[in-house]
Amino acid sequence: MPAYHSSLMVPETRLVGNMALLPVKTQFKGPARGDGVDSDIIDEAIYYFKANVFFKNYEIKNEADRTLIYVTLYISECLKKLQKCSSRSQGEKEMYTLGITNFPIPGEPGFPLNAMYAKPGNKQEDETMRAYLQQLRQETGLRLCDRVFDPQTDKPSKWWLCFVKKQFMNKSLSAPGQ
Amino acid sequence: MAVSPVQVGKEATGEWMFSSSCSHLCVCLGLPEQTEPPLNTPENREYLAEIMFETFNVPGLYIAVQAVLALAASWTSRQVGQRTLTGIVIDSGDGVTHAIPVAEGYVIGSCIKHIPIAGRDITFFIQQLLRDREAGIPPEQSLETAKAIKERYCYICPDIVREFAKYDSDPGKWIKQFQGINAVTKTPFHIDVGYERFLGPEIFFHPEFSNPDFMQSISDVIDEVIQSCPIDVRRPLYKNIVLSGGSTMFRDFGRRLQRDLKRTADARLRLSEELSGGRIKPKPMEVQVVTHHMQRYAVWFGGSMLASTPEFFQVCHSKKDYDEIGPSICRHNPVFGIMS
């Protein structure tokens, strides 16, 4: 069962719900500040994605793992969309649209892992969580375009698209059929 | 001396019987040695003796347990003077993998464990990975293509995440090309061989990749087997972990097993040291996985080795005894071979 876990958890990390609000190197607006961080949670999630996606069981060791799980599930969503894109510019547009789409947050009925995530306690936490998750989604989509598109052919690489059908923990952020 | 192995089955309809694991027949100077799976019943041995003596008219017969022969085969990889029939045999073929502990030539039957991951599962997993990614493979040939790729290109890596990174950063070095011929149109097809090279055999260590019901890594199963054996035999078992069977032929399989088992054993000893407050300082556990050139046919090779020793003639059951006493003489086959 040893899947790959996040090593970014430090005791001072701010929590939103029971997810770690880790800093992210991003230009997008949101609660996460990205200054001075070498490798952030999104880099980690992308690095571990190809291995983690095969695991059906995942043991949460710390709050940063919950953030990692969310980003991993979102990467799967991105790949589903990128499969249909025929060029990098189209891919980036799709990623932007997907990032601002309203995905369910922990506590809402559409969220697949409500058992492991806590609902935000008050309205302010709810807003923070939504904003943070949107920031994560937008930045993940952008960074994935870097990796997935082959610079020579401008098409998505088969070495990423082969993971489209794999579901991390057998869960998915969107409903089946999308 | 020993001639090529012939597969003999045992089937309940009289002359031909089928056994659950394959039995090999070695013909050594006209005196056959038969092998049997562990936990075989004495009645089965009698049936076998009847067939051998009545139908085939052999001059002598000895029925050996496969695991013990695999241990004997492992003697080729070490100097004489260290020969032992105590060890744990990891036998992995096409259908199922067994971990069989043997002490002084006797199998500890109650501690045997089976793992439902073997060659067939690896081939199937590779077939699925290829299907998701490569478009050129003719559908009827996808299983045999996967099998060819498994046998030619697969290996065991120490860490899958680092391996993925290696493949992504330097594809020219790690991604191989495979060419097959379409059996119907006779035109060649080319495919890339990538991640399945290390992901295929990885299912031994992460069975959940391919089997939703079984989660325990093979190293954990082996550790459990050894821990369930009598305490005085555990250190010798750790020291002599012998591989046998085609599915153990992956490059670095032994190294990975050894590394994982050493980690588990060291962690256990460290824990006992902590719990005792530093009073107990256990001797470090020596973990050794034995690999050798004849691993693929280890059982057969062990059989032919033992059958070529002079002692073999003494422990063999002769036709004369069979004629006098009957098939019950073959119920018991004494352990031999450590004297040399």
Name the residue among B160, B168, B215 with its Cβ closest to that of A1: B215
d(CA A40, CA A34): 8
Q: Which residue(s) pair with B6 in the sheet?
A: B25
Per-residue model confidence (pLDDT) at position B335 = 83
Dist CA B68 CA B306 (whole Å): 10
- Residues of chain B with pLDDT > 70, as a percent, come to 88
Other C-beta atoms closer than 10 Å to the C-beta of B319 total: 14
| CB contacts, 8 Å: B129 with chain A | 162
Among A51, A164, A166, the residue with its CB nearest the CB of B164 is A51
8 Å CB contact of A161 and B208? no
Q: Chain A residues with CB inside 8 Å of B133's CB?
A: 158-159, 161-162
Residues B133, A57: C-beta atoms closer than 8 Å:
no
CB contact under 8 A, B195 and A159: yes
The architecture in CATH of the region A15-166 reads Orthogonal Bundle (1.10)
Q: Which residue of A has its CA nearest to B131?
A: A162
Interface of A with B (CB under 8 A): 1, 4, 47-48, 50-51, 54-57, 158-159, 161-166
Nearest CA in chain B to A51: B161
Chain B residue at shortest CA distance from A162: B133
The more confidently predicted of residues B30 and A38 is A38
**Angstrom distance (rounded) from CA B212 to CA B54:** 48
The predicted pLDDT at position B1 comes to 25
Longest dimension (CA), chain B: 74
Q: Is A107 exposed, middle or buried (0-12, 13-18, 19+ CB in 10 A)?
A: middle
- Number of Cβ pairs closer than 8 Å across A and B? 40
By residue count, chain B amounts to 340
CATH 3.30.420.40 domain locations along chain B: 7-64+309-330, 68-116+215-295
In this structure, what token pair is assigned to residue A17? 């719900």
pLDDT for B231:
95
pLDDT(B30) > 60: no
CA B235 to CA B24: how far, in whole Å?
Answer: 31
Contact B133 A158 (CB under 8 A): yes
pLDDT of residue B31: 52
Nearest to A105 by CA among A41, A173, A31, A49: A173
Whether pLDDT at B318 is above 70:
yes
Helix H or strand E encompassing B27:
strand B23-28
User: Chain A interface, mutation test: which of B164, B197, B214, most A Cβ atoms within 10 Å?
Assistant: B164
Write down the pLDDT at residue B114.
92
User: CA Rg, chain A, in Å?
Assistant: 15
Give pLDDT tens digits for B167-225. Answer: 999 999 999 999 999 988 999 999 999 999 999 999 999 999 999 899 999 999 999 99
Give me the pLDDT at residue B324, please: 94
Give the Cβ contact number of residue A59 at 10 Å: 10
Q: How far apart are CA B146 and CA B137, in angstroms?
A: 10
Contact between A1 and B208 using a beta-carbon 8 Å cutoff: yes
Residues of chain A contacting residue B215, judged by C-beta atoms under 8 Å apart: 1, 57
The 3-state secondary structure of chain A reads CCCCCCCCCCCCCCEECCEECCCCCCCCCCCCCCCCCCCCHHHHHHHHHHHHCCCCCCCCCCHHHHHHHHHHHHHHHHHHHHCCCCCHHHHHHHHHHHHHCCCCCCCCCCCCCCCCCCCCCCHHHHHHHHHHHHHHHHHHHHHHHHHHECCCCCCECHHHHCCCCCCHHHCCCCCCCC
Residues of chain A positioned with their CB less than 8 A from the CB of B167: 159
Nearest to A54 among B133, B194, B209 (CB): B209
Q: At B164, is the pLDDT very low, low, confident or very high (cuts 50, 70, 90)? A: very high
Task: Say if the Cβ atoms of A162 and B206 lie within 8 Å.
Answer: no
Picking from A70, A49, A86, the residue whose alpha carbon sits closest to that of residue A163 is: A49
Residue bearing tokens 């290109």: B153
Q: How many residues does chain A have?
A: 178
Distance (Å, whole) CA B29 – CA B25: 13
Average pLDDT, chain B: 85
Given the DSSP bridges, would you call strands B87-92 and B241-244 parallel, antiparallel or unpaired?
parallel
**Residue among A47, A57, A162 minimizing CB distance to B161:** A47
Q: Give the Cα separation of A157 and A91 in Å (integer).
A: 12
Inter-axis angle of helices B119-133 and B142-153, to 10 degrees?
Answer: 110
User: For residue A104, which phi and psi values (nearest 5 degrees)?
Assistant: -65, 145
Closest residue on chain A to B216 (Cα): A1
- List the single residue in A with minimal CA-CA distance to B220: A1
State whether ipTM is beyond 0.85.
Answer: yes
Residues of chain A with pLDDT under 50: 1
Residue among B324, B327, B321, B313 at smallest CA distance from B33: B313
CATH 3.90.640.10 in chain B: give the residue spans: 119-203
B132 touches chain A (CB under 8 A): yes
- Name the CATH superfamily for B68-116+215-295: ATPase, nucleotide binding domain (3.30.420.40)
Are A159 and B133 within 8 A, CB to CB?
yes
Q: What percent of chain B has pLDDT over 90?
A: 59
Instruction: Tell me which chain B residue has its CA closest to the CA of residue A164.
Output: B132
pLDDT digits (tens, 9 = 90+) for A22-58: 888 888 888 887 666 778 889 999 999 999 999 998 8
Chain B residue with Cα closest to A147: B168
Instruction: Indicate if the pLDDT at residue B10 is higher than 90.
Output: no
- For residue A1, what pLDDT is reported? 45
Kindly report the pTM of this predicted structure: 0.87
CB A139 within 8 A of CB A95: no
Predicted local distance difference test score (pLDDT) of residue A2: 65
CA distance A75 to B49: 63
Per the listing, tokens 């500890």 go with B108
pLDDT of residue B26 exceeding 70: no
B212 contacts A47? CB cut-off 8 A: no
From the number of C-beta atoms within 10 Å of its C-beta (0-12, 13-18, 19+), residue A132 rates as buried
Per-residue pLDDT tens for B67-122? 999 999 998 887 555 788 999 999 999 999 999 999 999 999 899 999 999 999 99
Given a cut of 90, whether residue B247 has pLDDT beyond it is: yes
Distance from C-alpha of A63 to C-alpha of A50, rounded to nearest angstrom:
21
The mean pLDDT value for B233-247 works out to 94
Looking only at the bridges linking them, the beta strands covering B31-36 and B60-65 are parallel
B104 exposure class (CB count in 10 Å sphere: 0-12, 13-18, 19+) = exposed
Superfamily of domain B119-203: ATPase, substrate binding domain, subdomain 4 (3.90.640.10)
Q: Which two tokens stand for residue A72?
A: 């991993």
- Separation between Cα atoms, residue B186 and residue B57, nearest integer Å: 48
Residue for token digits 């969503």?
Answer: A77
Look at domain B7-64+309-330 and name its CATH class.
alpha beta
